[in-house]
């Protein structure tokens, strides 16, 4: 979720019930940490009920260990290692899910990072390299043997990327093979689906990614359903308007107006994509270059009677 789960977005998700929100993935090459992009990714969410988790990626054990130590120096209370990203630009550097092809290197990386810091280290990974090589269970045991405190498993292989449907049988096998907590991930887009996946896999928790885009309420709705068996009412249109306006302002504060208004465009699309008239609204919104004009456009859009014909999920 690099480019999306910045500090304002994480703050919003935590406010609406997420138990943990990791930073965007940062490179293990600390020589690049002076760039503005990496500096903003390392900024933690203040006054949060959840510990600060920083996700690192790379393929060199010592570089990852140094990155972990520096992240802790910047305030990280959890180090999360990414071995799940399927992006070509990550995998061609033998990082992310590309590491699943080399189990010895996985072990070397995990041992180096765990021994370098005193905070918990977690691992985000996938079920395997491809459907003929689902080695997620072996990776999980390697992780546990090297002191990893929790696993998040996406129910697809590297080769699957985000295509097709996530499968949860492998996650269930991983849960049965290790004693550490396992967090199930992939296609969990509703409270009912979260419960189904928890029952099917026996996982400790679920991780929600893309379904939270424009819908931070998915976390509190899921928690409520898991605790009570009852669904929450749809989010009122006024709440969508209020939250979108808050998010736009926070992006401007965090990035500055020039960059903030550009980043706001994709978030506006996610918040409004299911609402009547959103296409025309977004065509206009994407031409705006000031936060004030964006806020005015949002108010105009949400105050039109036609917008109220559909509510958020």
Q: What pLDDT does residue 233 have?
A: 94
Cβ(312)–Cβ(292) below 8 Å = no
Range(s) of the domain holding residue 241: 237-309
Residues 148 and 294 in one domain: no
Of the CA atoms within 13 Å of residue 77, those in its CB half-sphere come to 10
> Residue 232 catalytic?
no
In a domain, 1, yes or no: no
Q: Is residue 27 located within the same domain as residue 89?
A: yes
pLDDT digits (tens, 9 = 90+) for 143-176: 999 999 999 999 998 787 788 899 999 999 999 9
* Domain end point (choices 181, 211, 228): 228
User: If you average pLDDT over each of 21-35, 74-88, 168-182, which comes out highest?
Assistant: 168-182
Report the candidate in 162, 227, 164 with the shortest Cα–Cα distance to residue 194: 227
Residue, of 157 and 224, whose pLDDT is higher = 224
Q: Are residues 217 and 244 in the same domain?
A: no
User: Is 255 among the domain residues?
Assistant: yes
pLDDT of residue 309: 55
pTM for the predicted model, two decimal places? 0.89
Which candidate in 85, 91, 160, 232 is catalytic?
85
Give me the CATH number covering residue 45: 3.20.20.70
Report the C-alpha gap between 250 and 259 in whole angstroms.
Answer: 12
Q: Mark whether 215 and 270 lie in a shared domain.
A: no
* Distinct helix (H) and strand (E) counts, the chain: 13, 7
Give pLDDT tens digits for 119-131: 999 999 999 887 8
Same domain, 263 and 210: no
Tokens of 110: 């995990």
Instruction: Express each pLDDT in 174-185 by its tens digit.
Output: 999 999 999 999
At 304 the three-state DSSP class reads: coil
Please indicate, yes or no, if residue 27 is contained in any of the structural domains. Answer: yes
Kindly indicate the confidence band of residue 41, based on its pLDDT and cuts at 50, 70 and 90.
Answer: confident
For the segment 196-205, the average pLDDT, to the nearest whole number, is: 98
Is pLDDT at 110 greater than 90 in this prediction?
yes
Which of these ranges, 43-47, 81-85, 277-281, 297-301, has the smallest mean pLDDT?
Answer: 43-47
Q: End-to-end distance of the chain based on CA atoms, in angstroms?
A: 21
51 and 141, same domain (yes or no):
yes
Query: Same domain, yes or no, for 125 and 215?
Result: yes
In a shared domain, residues 248 and 159: no
pLDDT band at 312 (very low <50, low <70, confident <90, very high): very low
Backbone φ and ψ of 138, nearest 5° = -65, -40
Query: Average pLDDT, whole number, for the chain?
Result: 90
Question: Does 92 reside within a domain?
Answer: yes
**Which of 174, 205, 228 delimits the end of a domain?**
228
pLDDT given for residue 94 in this prediction: 56
pLDDT number for residue 186: 95
Q: Percent of the chain, pLDDT > 90?
A: 73
Cα–Cα dist 288/272, whole Å: 16
Q: Of 228, 247, 266, which residue is a domain's last?
A: 228
Overall domain count for the chain: 2
Sign for the CA dihedral angle at 132, 175, 11, 195 comes to positive
Place of tokens 């991930």: 185
The string of pLDDT tens digits covering residues 257-306 is 999 999 999 999 999 999 999 999 999 999 999 999 999 999 999 998 76
Q: Same structural domain for residues 127 and 250?
A: no
Task: Identify whether the C-beta of residue 240 lies closer than 8 Å to the C-beta of residue 273.
Answer: no
């Amino acid at each position: 979720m690099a480019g999306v789960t910045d500090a304002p977005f994480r703050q919003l998700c935590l406010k609406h019930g997420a138990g943990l929100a990791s930073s965007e993935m940062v490179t293990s090459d600390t020589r690049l940490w002076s760039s503005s992009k990496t500096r903003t990714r390392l900024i933690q969410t203040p006054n949060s009920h959840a510990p600060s988790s920083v996700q690192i990626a790379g393929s060199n054990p010592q570089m990852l260990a140094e990155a972990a130590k520096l992240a802790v120096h910047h305030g990280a209370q959890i180090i999360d290692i990414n071995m799940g990203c399927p992006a070509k630009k990550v995998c061609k550097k033998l990082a992310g899910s590309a590491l699943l092809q080399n189990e010895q290197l996985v072990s070397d990386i995990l041992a180096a990072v765990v021994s370098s810091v005193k905070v918990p280290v977690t691992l985000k990974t996938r079920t395997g390299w491809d459907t003929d090589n689902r080695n997620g269970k072996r990776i999980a045991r390697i992780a546990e043997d090297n002191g990893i405190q929790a696993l998040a498993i996406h129910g697809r292989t590297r080769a699957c990327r985000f295509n097709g449907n996530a499968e949860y049988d492998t996650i269930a096998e991983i849960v049965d093979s290790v004693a550490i907590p396992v967090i199930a991930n992939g296609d969990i887009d509703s409270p009912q689906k979260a419960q189904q996946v928890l029952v099917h896999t026996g996982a400790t928790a679920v991780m929600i990614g893309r379904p939270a885009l424009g819908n931070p309420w998915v976390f509190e709705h899921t928690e409520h359903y898991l605790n009570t068996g009852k669904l929450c009412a749809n989010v009122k249109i006024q709440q969508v308007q209020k939250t979108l306006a808050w998010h736009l302002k926070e992006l401007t504060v965090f990035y500055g107006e020039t960059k903030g208004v550009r980043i706001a465009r994709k978030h506006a699309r996610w918040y409004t994509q299911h609402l009547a008239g959103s296409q025309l609204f977004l065509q206009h919104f994407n031409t705006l270059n000031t936060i004030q004009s964006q806020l005015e456009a949002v108010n105009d859009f949400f105050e039109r009677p036609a917008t109220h014909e559909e509510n958020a999920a």
